A and B are shown apart, each in its own frame.
Chain A
């Protein structure tokens, strides 16, 4: 009764969850509120794409991917042998348990006429598959909780996945153990199936089952005399052997039964078997019902993503399908951490503690963005910073075992987020080269807006002395600003400047303009002078500061050994701190 109710309930939740999650692949996008395609348009495009693929030569590509990447998990193998072994154990061990044991009514008993779960080879195989799964769980626990890898995060979802799996497996093992030792079960079976001639025969069989089959009896204890056991064996052959192999074949369950033996009797009377059975099936059903919402959903999404990726390509596939694929990719992520372990920039997380720098952690923010949940301005700037702190080196994409095209995902989300209009100072760094090289793929207005926003943002915050005719007064002079520069070896060299203008006259950026001040604000020697006067706003606002190539011509030419370029770099660092503080303040207020 409880079994059936919970089974159907979990199936209903699973089906609804599955429908909901799959619908998000078509409904969600990063472009909110402006959507390029409706959910139905994307659904039909996907169906069209699938049909077109099935009726083309690409079916062979799909089969190849299915064999190598899904069944053999070649991509994990390339990443690490240990992890491949772990995942193969979990994947195949659990799949085979599911097919042979959980779905025995559907498959095994139909395939094998004389199937009984207590009979070899099924008895042994069930334990063998369980053993394989346990090996996998063991390696996973070692990897996540014992081996300390920096920047490898284990989140609530990872813990849930391990816990539900462990509960299912452990309850199964102890259920088998409790059944092996159970006198109640033994008596029940004897009543149902055995045919005795007198009490002595009953005793003989019971003795054999206590001796060889691990039953813990309240009446009899070992040792028994040989004759009794021989008689018991004959009776066993007649009555039980057709359905029962020796329980030692169930090497894990039998081991657990040995451990339980001292307390087996009282627990058996209290109904341990029923309790464990209830825990076992409830854990399975909870796992099933929650599967679409958990990390375990990758069981479905990762293979689909691998298959879709093998036949899709940006530029060739329908643009609606590219969006859909990216939404599916978010569910395909298993949070395995391969990307972060290879990330070219992961190490800077120790200096800039923004988890969005790390590819494996970025995915969580992307899920939030895709679902359209409202985010505060501050949260948005944090995500944006993490998205921009990427060298586009392609390493994450080349190692992802789920085959997610992360590089393309980052690029698309980065652009979608930039469109929302929060100025990003990182646009003014060489991280923008990639964006510049890919700019033909972007709308011109969007491309240029993101370039102008950070400078406009700085102008808005650093607004002192914004009128050229305003006289500089002591009140404008910021002593802390000067002190900060004076505390560093390079920065302090600004004080040697005697304004000979050599730096500005050799600067290739200055030389590029007929009237440099018009475009650049201040030229390098003026920036150095303004620094000496302690006027940060004037310095930070100058385009020259942000257009410095870092080519070091100025520094090499300076007769006074002012480290001009290095001073400019330090000034930019100070400007970034100032803008970040400002963002934090306004973010908290809003």
Chain B
């Protein structure tokens, strides 16, 4: 299977391990990724210039369309953006025509024939849980995971939650396949605080801290998530808060691709386990 990967702009500098672990896991599952020509999804532009926001995603969708492949993202913000733009262009023919007028000079055209999937959906719906299970060679034992969904695979409901089972249930089931125990916690569906990092750091940190404390209180050992912005916040920013003494009891965070990769028996170095800011290597001891 071939998919166009909408890479998130945060990964080359801050989250190389998300790319390497994704490549490793998908490679084993027989998924090929083509990502060369895609640009930023437009997410940071939404409050500044909505049309530019639409244009950015529309270009990516039209490139995928031209290459006759579907699009996959491993970031919730990219996912939400692509989904929204796709919907907007479908329901607003005038906007669609205007955007296509701009894409024309690159011989591109948005026609709405591309399926947009989050990496969790690719695992569950495209590859199927049976195929994933076949590749799982080691299971975790006694590992308590607080699943962190992130906002844009859940909301706005009408845009992203029409499949059955819904993305949250898919996420839970995939984590459970690795043998990890899922711990329910109250702030599971709340925002990680990332959108405000750099705008009002105290507010952003307060939201992050609440989540960490809440998950800690629920008895979990690790966050597990599948979004680059959430991971930067819950790993890199959390590390900073820890160093500055603004939190005392950290909650390390593992990317789902790293978790799945470990249970598929992929080398921890390939998965970039050492590259996480808050040490997650004790998780290796939980592999049965």
Residues of A within 8 A of B (CB): 148, 150, 343-348, 350-352, 391-395, 398, 407, 425-437, 439-440, 451, 489, 508-509, 512, 546-553, 555-556, 563, 565-566, 569-570, 572-573, 576
Contact = CB atoms under 8 A, between A and B. Distances in A.
Interface of B: 9-10, 12-14, 39-40, 42-52, 55-56, 59, 77, 91-92, 102, 105-106, 151-152, 154-157, 190-191, 193-201, 203-204, 206-207, 210, 229, 232, 236-237, 240
B228 to A, nearest CB: 11
Contacts of B206: 512
A437 B232 contact: yes
B156 A431 contact: no
Given A437-B237, A551-B191, A573-B49, 9 more contacts: A350-B102, A430-B44, A433-B10, A434-B198, A435-B198, A436-B204, A451-B198, A552-B151, A552-B155
B9 A391 contact: yes
Given A393-B40, A509-B203, A570-B50, A347 B195 contact: no
Most interface-central of B50, B190, B199, B203 (chain A CB within 10 A): B199
A391 B191 contact: no
A348 B56 contact: yes
A430 B39 contact: no
Contacts of B50: 569-570, 573
Contacts of A348: 42, 45, 49, 52, 55-56
Contacts of B49: 348, 351-352, 573, 576
A425 B48 contact: yes
Most interface-central of A347, A434, A439, A512 (chain B CB within 10 A): A347
B198 A394 contact: no
17 contacts: A150-B105, A344-B39, A350-B102, A391-B40, A393-B9, A426-B48, A432-B199, A433-B229, A436-B199, A437-B236, A439-B201, A489-B91, A508-B190, A509-B203, A548-B47, A550-B151, A573-B48
Contact of B44 (A150, A429, A512, A572): A429
B51 to A, nearest CB: 5
Nearest to A571: B47
Contacts of A148: 105
Contacts of A352: 49, 52
Given A394-B13, A549-B191, A433 B46 contact: no
Contacts of B51: 351
A344 B198 contact: no
Contacts of A345: 39-40, 56
Nearest to B10: A433
A429 B207 contact: no
Contacts of B47: 428-429, 548, 550, 569, 572-573, 576
Contacts of A426: 48
Contacts of B155: 551-553, 555-556
Given A430-B44, A433-B232, A556-B157, A393 B12 contact: yes
A546 B199 contact: yes
Contacts of A393: 9-10, 12-13, 40
B55 A430 contact: no
A556 B12 contact: no
B156 A391 contact: no
Most interface-central of A398, A425, A548, A551 (chain B CB within 10 A): A551
Contacts of A429: 44-48, 199
A512 B209 CA distance: 11
A437 B204 CA distance: 12
B39 A346 contact: yes
B207 to A, nearest CB: 6
Contact of A436 (B9, B198, B210): B198
A561 B93 CA distance: 23
Contacts of A150: 105-106
A432 B197 contact: yes
Nearest to A435: B198
A429 B152 CA distance: 17
A345 B52 CA distance: 9
A430 B106 contact: no
Contacts of B42: 348
A436 B201 contact: yes
Contacts of A395: 12
A430 B105 CA distance: 29
A426 B199 CA distance: 10
B6 to A, nearest CB: 11
Nearest to A427: B199
A431 B201 contact: no
A555 B201 CA distance: 24
Most interface-central of A344, A352, A433 (chain B CB within 10 A): A433
A407 B206 CA distance: 30
A428 B206 CA distance: 18
Nearest to B102: A350
Contact of B48 (A391, A435, A576): A576
A437 B197 contact: yes
A451 B151 CA distance: 25
A420 B209 CA distance: 34
A563 B156 contact: yes
Contacts of A347: 39, 55-56, 59
A357 to B, nearest CB: 10
A436 B59 CA distance: 29
B56 A512 contact: no
Contacts of B48: 425-426, 429, 572-573, 576
Nearest to A395: B12
Most interface-central of B191, B229, B236 (chain A CB within 10 A): B191
Nearest to B201: A436
Most interface-central of A150, A348, A512, A556 (chain B CB within 10 A): A348
B175 to A, nearest CB: 22
A462 to B, nearest CB: 16
The 9 closest A-B pairs by CB, nearest first: A436-B198, A432-B198, A552-B155, A391-B9, A551-B191, A393-B9, A572-B47, A344-B40, A351-B52
B43 A430 contact: yes
A459 to B, nearest CB: 16
Given A347-B56, A549-B196, A437 B14 contact: yes
A427 B200 CA distance: 10
Contacts of B191: 508, 549, 551, 553
A548 B203 CA distance: 11
Nearest to B159: A552
A478 B161 CA distance: 37
Contacts of B77: 430
B150 to A, nearest CB: 9
Nearest to A570: B50
Contacts of A427: 198-199
A434 B229 CA distance: 11
B39 to A, nearest CB: 5
A426 B49 CA distance: 10
Given A391-B40, A429-B45, A556 B156 contact: yes
Nearest to A454: B199
B156 A437 contact: no
A392 B13 contact: yes
